Structure 1
Amino acid sequence: MKIAVVCANGKAGKLIVKEAVDRGHDVTAVVRGENQTVAQHTLVKDLFDLTSEDLAGFDAVVDAFGAWTPETLSEHSTSLAHLCDILSGTETRLLVVGGAGSLYVNPEHTAVVADGPEFPEAFKPLAAAQGKALEELRARDDVRWTFISPAADFQADGERTGVYILAGEELRLNDAGESVISYADYAIAMLDEAERASDAHIRQRISVVRR
């Protein structure tokens, strides 16, 4: 497969690139500066400057964009909208590295993780921005997107166990009662989804948790 990883130099992006390369895929790292990944190819370009021609011919585009400061949080929406616009009408899959704050915690889907009393106040603006981006993404029926939420405890330096539980829109706990996954195991789940032959998760949000 031909895979492009946008914002590949980030912690999640690097591991997703490595997982893809280790599986024998042809990977292009889309970065704003020097490529710090093991991708075979590099496209030096800002996400917002990408064009349809830049992403033509890829089987999958992984969006590993992240913004953390108050003045840039809105870019979760604008960056995703831009990627959707330039992939509109194509067969290329858009796989989005999402957040856990928007996962539902009840069957009625009226409450989310970020609403809980134990959710850190400092992360609520980020969760709100990612949740807004997801809601806007749901309106796009012209793009073959999948939004993949990690578990609530998303561990950058966590162990690569190689096993995970694939879940849906609701927060899933493992047998130990935990909602946790490492970036490395998340990368495995991301590539499993990219390689999936079925269209089961097109225009859906899914989630993953360590088994």
Structure 2
Amino acid sequence: MKKIAVVAANGRVANKVITEAVSRGFDVTGFGRKENNTKAQHYVQKDLFDLTSEDLKGFDAVVDAFGAWTEETLPQHSTSLKHLCDILSGTDTRLLIVGGAGSLYVNKEHTATVMEGPDFPDAFKPLASAMGKALGELRERKDVKWTYISPAGDFQADGERTGKYLLGGEELTLNDRGESVISYADYAIAMVDEIEKGNHIQQRISVVRA
């Protein structure tokens, strides 16, 4: 049985990941600031920034589901990820990050991103930029077994669980219907599959509904 920790466990994506992992027989511990609202077998009420290496010792994988949306908290995408990397540095524990789609590339040269496109909503640019900056900093970490998983452009909280997805890489991937869409539930399947298989150490991957 794999032991995994989910940080910022009370969020909606985190809840889907926890539910998926528990249903497959994983031993899951949630860490969150608020009271437990998850299906994790174990729960620790503790802020991400207060976590120590001892807290995360013995886990096969840690899922980082941290999110911040206000102007003053957006820099925490970088600082929270750095903190988790620092306390996992040099260990065999894998770190899997719930990422964003804005930093996916739209050309083979990897010089243009989704968030730089003319149709990208202005309201989401600060968030996408903050998450893209955090990813860039993560790429410099050679001391952590990280995997960054970007969802499709249309990331649907209440979308159906189809049980199928396509695995992509650094570039925005469309399915055969020309869509870039995935539900939280199907994203969670991809996340837990990656925990099980561990095929993409120190890589960014992406997922889209099949």
The aligned counterpart of 1:195 is 196
Letter matched to residue 170 of structure 2? E
The aligned counterpart of 1:149 is 150
- The residue matched to 2:6 in structure 1 has which SS? strand
Separation in 2 of the partners of 1:94 and 1:54? 14
Letter matched to residue 39 of structure 1? A
The aligned counterpart of 2:55 is 54
Separation in 2 of the partners of 1:202 and 1:31? 26
The aligned counterpart of 2:208 is 209
CA RMSD of aligned residues (A): 0.5
How far residue 57 of structure 1 moved from its aligned partner, in angstroms, is 0.1
Could you give the per-residue CA deviations for residues 123-153 of structure 1, whole angstroms, max 9, x where no partner exists? 0000000000000000000000000000000
The aligned counterpart of 1:118 is 119
Where do 5+ consecutive residues of structure 1 fail to align? none
Separation in 2 of the partners of 1:177 and 1:164? 14
How far residue 165 of structure 1 moved from its aligned partner, in angstroms, is 0.2
Separation in 2 of the partners of 1:118 and 1:158? 23
Letter matched to residue 186 of structure 2? D
Percent identity between matched residues is: 74
The aligned counterpart of 1:167 is 168
Letter matched to residue 176 of structure 1? R
Could you give the per-residue CA deviations for residues 139-183 of structure 1, whole angstroms, max 9, x where no partner exists? 000000000000000000001000000000000000000000000
The size of the alignment, in residue pairs, is 209
- The residue matched to 1:43 in structure 2 has which SS? strand
Superposition TM-score, scaled by structure 2 size: 0.99
How far residue 43 of structure 1 moved from its aligned partner, in angstroms, is 1.1
Separation in 1 of the partners of 2:177 and 2:117? 20
Mapping 1:68-87, distance limit 5 Å: 68-87=69-88
Separation in 2 of the partners of 1:86 and 1:163? 34
- The residue matched to 2:200 in structure 1 has which SS? coil
Moved runs in structure 1, 4+ residues, more than 4 A? Answer: none
Superposition TM-score, scaled by structure 1 size: 0.98
Letter matched to residue 135 of structure 1? G
Where do 5+ consecutive residues of structure 2 fail to align? none
Separation in 2 of the partners of 1:188 and 1:34? 25
Separation in 2 of the partners of 1:51 and 1:160? 34
The aligned counterpart of 1:40 is 41
